Homo-oligomer: A and B are copies of this chain.
Amino acid sequence: MSITLTILGCHSATPRINAFPTSQYLEINNSHFLIDCGEGTQRQMRKYKVGFSKINHIFISHLHGDHFYGLVGLLATFGILNREKELHIYGPKGIKEVTLLQLKTSQSHANFKIIFHELVSKKSELIYEDEKVSVKTIPLNHRVYTNGYLFTEKEKSRKLHTENIRNYKEIDKADYLNIKAGKDIILSSGEVISNSELTIPPPKPLSYAFCSDTSYKPDIISIIENTDLLYHEATFLSDRKDLAKKTKHSTTKQAAKIAKEANVNQLVLGHYSGRYKDISLFKKEAQEVFKNTELAEPGKVFSIK
């Protein structure tokens, strides 16, 4: 049970010498996801040793260039590397047409199938699940249709409470499957032993919420409540609250307020405007509202267990 987030890029607007547009690599219980894919993402993946062949699912928050201009290059590289596994891409309606035209124009012959899941709903919806993890959208409020994504581990089954089980000599290994399946045990005396006595609850499922570009939007709180790790954009310090509102971005304090009210464990800030030279101010300001705040930086890893 673990979630590991690697920041590949976390700056806004345009790639610069030491500023890389949004992209993140998320590993949950050996499932591997790429979130957003600004220009240069494939180079950042190589730099931080993200295995290209591990990625089967890519989630794009919105179709501003700093969140998807690196996608076509990554797909073309997958083709050059002779990828055969199918690839799922989740993102706003429109992503399929532009991506396919780019691949066709550049005659990038892919031997692998690309399955697009185009999103249009303005309500949170379950868009992916496997046996270990589920992904729900977090509808955001930006200048274009934008979703964040909530990644949540599936709840594991209860474990055997071997110590308690030993108190009942009548219960043997043949019963274990039933106990694991949640059943009570009826002894020959007719006494019912409650499943809760014979098992230990599984650890709380971990979760990660990615909240890409958005204005301050408190109605996401009910979706991301109690999440372990929240990435929330903070393009501006509070001095530019008006500009944040105008461009539908957030300030440090707004992001921190969301984190506090959603009762998350840790907040990670990113998407810093290029106007700020010293990003440590983002952390300082957010911590006035929410103490457990960290800064996204390229190559930085956040692990929760």
Q: Which residues does A use to contact B, with CB under 8 Å?
A: 13-17, 39-40, 42-43, 46-47, 63-65, 68-70, 72-73, 76-77, 80, 94-95, 97-98, 101-102, 105-108, 143-144
With A39-B40, A107-B143 known, 9 other A-B pairs at CB within 8 A are A14-B73, A14-B80, A15-B42, A39-B70, A63-B107, A64-B106, A68-B106, A95-B105, A107-B144
Shortest C-beta distance, A52 to chain B (Å), equals 10
Chain B residues whose CB sits within 8 angstroms of the CB of A13 once the complex forms: 77, 80
Chain B residues whose CB sits within 8 angstroms of the CB of A15 once the complex forms: 40, 42-43, 73
Chain B residues whose CB sits within 8 angstroms of the CB of A107 once the complex forms: 63-64, 143-144
- The residue among A39, A47, A73 with the most chain B CB atoms within 10 A of its own CB is A39
With A17-B46, A77-B14, A97-B101 already in contact, the answer to whether A106 and B69 are too (CB < 8 A) is yes
**Nearest 5 pairs of A and B residues by beta carbon:** A98-B105, A65-B106, A39-B73, A65-B76, A14-B77
Bound CA–CA A91/B17 (angstroms): 27
Shortest C-beta distance, A295 to chain B (Å), equals 21
Chain B residues whose CB sits within 8 angstroms of the CB of A102 once the complex forms: 69, 98, 102
Residue of B nearest to A103 (CB): B65
With A14-B42, A77-B14 already in contact, the answer to whether A94 and B98 are too (CB < 8 A) is no
- B17, B63, B105: the one within 8 Å of A105 (CB): B63
Show 15 residue pairs from A and B whose CB-CB distance is below 8 angstroms, ordered by the A residue: A13-B80, A14-B42, A15-B40, A16-B43, A17-B43, A17-B46, A39-B70, A39-B73, A64-B107, A65-B72, A65-B106, A68-B106, A69-B73, A69-B106, A97-B105
Chain B residues whose CB sits within 8 angstroms of the CB of A77 once the complex forms: 13-14
Residue of B nearest to A38 (CB): B73
Chain B residues whose CB sits within 8 angstroms of the CB of A40 once the complex forms: 15, 39-40, 43
Chain B residues whose CB sits within 8 angstroms of the CB of A46 once the complex forms: 16-17
Residue of B nearest to A14 (CB): B77
Residue of B nearest to A12 (CB): B80
Bound CA–CA A47/B40 (angstroms): 14
Bound CA–CA A143/B97 (angstroms): 24
Shortest C-beta distance, A277 to chain B (Å), equals 15
Please tell me if the beta carbons of A72 and B73 are within 8 angstroms of each other in the complex: no
Shortest C-beta distance, A101 to chain B (Å), equals 5
Shortest C-beta distance, A241 to chain B (Å), equals 21
Shortest C-beta distance, A86 to chain B (Å), equals 21
